[in-house]
Structure 1
Amino acid sequence: MTAPPSHPVRLAEDIASLLKNLNDQLAQATPRQAAEILGTVLTYDDGVLALVTDLIATGSRFAQGQAHRGSLPPEVWLAMGRCANELGHINAELDGHTDALKQLGARSTAGTTPTKPVPSAMIVRRSR
């Protein structure tokens, strides 16, 4: 018989399950709901992406200590550090677009007659 997972492991499993549920909800969402979900997920300081980035950075510090003790290969620490750095850069890059998502969600609920959106030239060119 295997031991039940510890509380933090169970918490990680629960969070993974909730993220899967959120992904399913996003896939089924209306444009307004999707914009609201993404705007919340991508909030720079306390959105899901920022918090996952913080979690990976904390894991990287753990891996660093273990690598210095010889318990983990240094490649694990380096990979986790690289991952945290990349996620941080991605979070910062997306920060400039979060307001557009939030505005789309708010615009759809404002009660005004929405104007028909026009795709940017970049999108039209790529679709051909």
Structure 2
Amino acid sequence: MSHPTPYPVRLADEISRQLDQLAEHLTHLLAHEATQVIARICDPDHGLLGGVAHLVDRSSRFAKGQTERGALPAEVWLALGRAANDLAHTSADLEEHRETLQHASTQPATSAGKPPATASLVVRRHR
């Protein structure tokens, strides 16, 4: 007799499926709609990125306990810890752009008139 799939496993599968759907939708949205989605994803309090960071942090804490019991190799715990830290840093990097994203997400779609001026891309990284 096979064991039924536990609810949390089904939930993780469903969330993963929905993330794939969201990514696909994002590629087809109008610019202002896509910006609204991105602003919500990056919202540090209620956004997707913060939720994933929290989930990976919890997973790392669980893995630490399993590592201490000898059930998981230390490399698994360490990799989850690094992932949790990276996500936290990414969330912090995006936090400085929160207001810009929120403002852009509330702007109406641009008319067919003059397109907005393009901006040169600047790469800067600070941690």
Q: TM-score normalised by the shorter chain: which range applies?
A: 0.7 to 0.9
State the Cα distance separating 1:62 from its structure 2 match: 0.4
Does the 8 Å contact 1:108/1:114 carry over to 2? no
> How many pairs were matched up?
122
Closer, same or farther: CA 8–64 of 1 in aligned 2, 3 Å: same
Counterpart residue number, 1:41:
41
Partner amino acid, structure 1, of 2:20: K
TM-score using structure 1 length: 0.85
> Is the 1:31–1:105 contact (alpha carbons within 8 Å) kept by the matching residues of 2?
no
What is the RMSD of the two structures over their aligned residues, measured on CA atoms? Answer: 2.1
Aligned twin of 1:54 = 54
Segment drifting more, 44-53 vs 99-108: 99-108
Amino acid at match of 2:59: G
Tell me whether 1:120 sits opposite 2:119 in the alignment. Answer: yes
Give the Cα separation in 2 of the matches to 1:85 and 1:11: 24
User: Given the two structures, how large is their TM-score scaled by the length of structure 2?
Assistant: 0.86
Structure 1 CA distance for aligned equivalents of residues 112 and 95 of structure 2: 28
SS in 2 for 1:81: helix
Bigger helix fraction: 1
- The one-letter code matched in structure 2 to 1:121 is S
Task: Give percent identity, aligned residues only.
Answer: 35
Structure 2 counterpart of 1:11, one-letter code: L
